[in-house]
Amino acid sequence: MLTMRQKTALLFAASFFLLLTLTSTSHSCVGRILNLTVNNSAEQQVVAHIMATYITERTGTTVNIVNSPNTMGAECPTDICINYVNTGLSGMSTQAHGSNAQENYSLVKEYYNDNEDLVWLKPLGYRGPVQQQNASMAVPVANRESLVKFPILHRVINKLGSLIDDASLQTLLQQTAGGDVETVAKDFLKAKNLI
C-alpha cells in the first residue's frame, strides 16, 4: 500500500512527464523550414498563403512558398503541395475510378500512400482548378518523410479541411485582385477564429 507521500510523488512525476511530452510535441516544429510548392494560379497562391500563415502561427515553422511554373502532375517535389483528386487519378498506374468524388479521393489517398509515400490529407473544400470542366477536390499532399520531420503538421493542416468552399475561394480571389494576398490570408484566418 502506498503512503500519501508516495502517491503525491507519483502523481507529481506523472504530471511532470505529461507536461514535458506535451511541451516537446507542441514545439517540435519551431525554427524549422517547410517548403510548400504551388503553381502560379491565383487560387493556389491565395490558398498557399492561408496554409503558410496558419502553419507558421500554430507551429512556429517558417513556410517557404515555392512557385512551380509547370504543372506538377501527381507528384509533390517538396515537403507539401496542393493537388487535385483528378490529377491524382490520372497519375495512378491503375485505371480505377469511384462513382463519386469521395470514392475517388479515397482511391487516390490509398494508392499514393501505398505506392508513392505521399499522404493526401483532408480536402480543403473547394474544387479546382477553378473554371475547368473537370474540376475536382483540392487536397494538400505531403511527403511521408516531411510528416516525420514535422510531427504535428498533418493535424495542423487538417484543421483547414473543408474550410475553403467554392464560394469562399471566389471571394478570396476577388479580395486578392485588389489587395495584398498575405493580408487577405490573415484576415480570412482571423474571421474563422483560427489565429
Q: Could you please report the per-residue DSSP string of 119-176?
A: EE----S-EESTT-TT-EEEEEEEEHHHHHHSTTHHHHHHTTTT-S-HHHHHHHHHHH
**Radius of gyration of the chain from its Cα atoms, rounded to whole angstroms:** 20
* pTM strictly above 0.85: no
Q: Where are the domains of the chain?
A: 28-191
Closest to 111 in 3D by CA, of 100, 128, 125, 98: 98
pLDDT 10s digits, 124-183: 999 987 767 778 999 999 999 999 999 899 999 999 999 999 999 999 999 998 879 999
- A 10 A CB-CB count for 89 gives 20
From the options 1.10.10.10, 3.40.190.10, 3.40.50.1390, 3.20.20.100, give the CATH code of 28-191: 3.40.190.10
Q: Which three cell numbers stand for residue 171?
A: 471571394
